Structure formats: C-alpha cells, structure tokens
C-alpha cells in the first residue's frame, strides 16, 4: 500500500483519544457478533495447553482483535501484531497499551516477497489471520502459506478465516439463497469506520489501500 502523507507519530497523535470509538466502528464493519464467533472458534481450537507461553503472530492484525482473543485464552501468550497499515497498527498499539496487552508491532506487507525476512524461522506456535488473505492473489497466498510454514515450529499451527464461495454446480442456488439472508457485511458500516478514521487523520486513508479489483482472490 502507499504510505500516508503524515508519519506514524502524527497518526498516533490524531487517533489516540478515539481508539475505542474506532474499534466499535471496526467491530460493526467486520460483522459484529459473527466476527466474535470466528475469533472464539480460533482461540478455542489452538492445540496447546492454556498456560503455555504461546509464541503467536496475529497476521494482518488490523486493530488486533484476534491477538487479543488468543491472549484471553492464553494469558501468557506473546503476540507479534503484524499489519501493512500504519493506521490500523496505531489503533492496535494504542488500545493494547490501555488494555495492558503486551505485544510487538511490525509493519509488513504480505505483497512484499521479503515480508518475513526479519522474523525467526521455526519459532512460532500459532500464526493466525482473519479476513485478510483474500486481498492477495492465489499465487501470492500460496507463497505466504509457504512462508508461514517456515515460520512455524514443529506442531505449530496456522489458522485463517476467509470468505469462501461454493463450487460451480452449487453456486446459483446457494447465491440465490444467500441474497435472502441478512448480510454480515454492510457498505454503511464500512463507510462509517472509514469516514470517521479519515476525518481524524485528516486525509483519505482508503486511497492508500489499493484496488479491490485485479488478480486478488476476492470475497467470492
């Protein structure tokens, strides 16, 4: 993604008094209670004893919901919060600081082939990510999965939550049914988060995120 017109410390200063509001808007944008359920499924399924000093990466962490959910079940977990976006990392860092959640923070972009160069191979117990890998192309996602495999220790586990589409023969009927269900994602919630975030930082951050089109895996 493109870099913002202001530096990290200025982003931090502009959002620091508004992180709880931004987190609430983010929670709604990500699907509300359904996102909570996803986080609980992942954080409950980690194949390790609860008192372990779990070496963990919240990959594409955004504001850090998944890492904090893991930390709730694993109070000794050491979380590396990784995201390409300095604004979302800023929210994550500020909220964790207030909540007393320790962690390290790395601004890394999975579209950069050297993204994990500074991370220890065969070190981590858990690498988990939610609602992020579909922003990559399938070729890039496969390369990232190989990188994650290298980063995990023996017995280490990858968890991911991503959109999935039905196989072709089943798609028409399934998609027709889906149109009649309450939607998890609402454009209004996306707009509410980003309108507020943009106003706080003083520029249009969404212009830095890159296109939703192209070769990325996408939502379907």
Q: Which residues bind another protein (CB under 8 A)?
A: 31, 34, 38, 41-42, 45, 47, 131, 134, 138, 141-142, 145-146, 148-149, 152-167, 174, 177-178, 181, 184-185, 217-218
Q: How far is the CB of 138 from another protein (least distance, A)?
A: 7
Q: How far is the CB of 109 from another protein (least distance, A)?
A: 19
Q: Which is nearer to another protein, 101 or 133 (CB)?
A: 133
Let me know: does 124 contact 53? Beta carbons within 8 Å: no
In whole angstroms, give the CA distance from residue 218 to residue 220. Answer: 6
Q: Which is nearer to another protein, 142 or 207 (CB)?
A: 142
Q: How far is the CB of 36 from another protein (least distance, A)?
A: 12
In whole angstroms, give the CA distance from residue 138 to residue 9. Answer: 34
Q: How far is the CB of 120 from another protein (least distance, A)?
A: 14
Q: Which is nearer to another protein, 118 or 139 (CB)?
A: 139
Q: How far is the CB of 144 from another protein (least distance, A)?
A: 9
Q: How far is the CB of 182 from another protein (least distance, A)?
A: 10
In whole angstroms, give the CA distance from residue 190 to residue 81. Answer: 22
Q: Which is nearer to another protein, 96 or 129 (CB)?
A: 129
Q: Which is nearer to another protein, 105 or 185 (CB)?
A: 185
**Cβ-proximal residues to 132 (8 Å cutoff; 6+ apart), any chain:** 59, 60, 62, 110, 162
In whole angstroms, give the CA distance from residue 107 to residue 43. Answer: 23
Q: Which is nearer to another protein, 98 or 149 (CB)?
A: 149
Let me know: does 82 contact 93? Beta carbons within 8 Å: no
In the β-sheet with 104-107, what is the strand arrangement from edge to edge? 104-107, 78-83, 55-59, 124-130
**Cβ-proximal residues to 44 (8 Å cutoff; 6+ apart), any chain:** 73
In whole angstroms, give the CA distance from residue 63 to residue 57. Answer: 13
């Amino acid at each position: 993604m493109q870099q913002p017109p202001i530096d990290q410390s200025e982003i931090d200063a502009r959002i620091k008094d508004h992180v709880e509001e931004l987190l609430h808007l983010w929670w709604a944008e990500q699907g509300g209670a359904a996102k909570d359920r996803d986080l609980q499924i992942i954080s409950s399924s980690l194949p390790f004893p609860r008192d372990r000093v779990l070496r963990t990466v919240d990959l594409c962490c955004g504001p850090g919901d998944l890492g904090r959910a893991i930390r709730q079940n694993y109070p000794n977990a050491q979380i590396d919060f990784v995201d390409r976006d300095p604004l979302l990392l800023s929210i994550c860092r500020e909220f964790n600081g207030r909540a007393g959640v320790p962690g390290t923070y790395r601004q890394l972009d999975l579209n950069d082939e050297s993204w994990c160069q500074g991370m220890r191979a065969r070190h981590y117990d858990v690498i988990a990510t939610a609602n992020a890998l579909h922003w990559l192309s399938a070729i890039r996602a496969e390369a990232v999965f190989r990188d994650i495999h290298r980063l995990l220790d023996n017995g280490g586990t990858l968890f991911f939550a991503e959109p999935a589409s039905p196989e072709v023969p089943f798609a028409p009927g399934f998609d027709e049914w889906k149109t009649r269900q309450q939607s998890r994602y609402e454009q209004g919630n996306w707009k509410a988060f980003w309108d507020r975030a943009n106003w706080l930082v003083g520029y249009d951050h969404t212009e830095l995120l890159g296109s939703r089109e192209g070769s990325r895996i996408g939502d379907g």
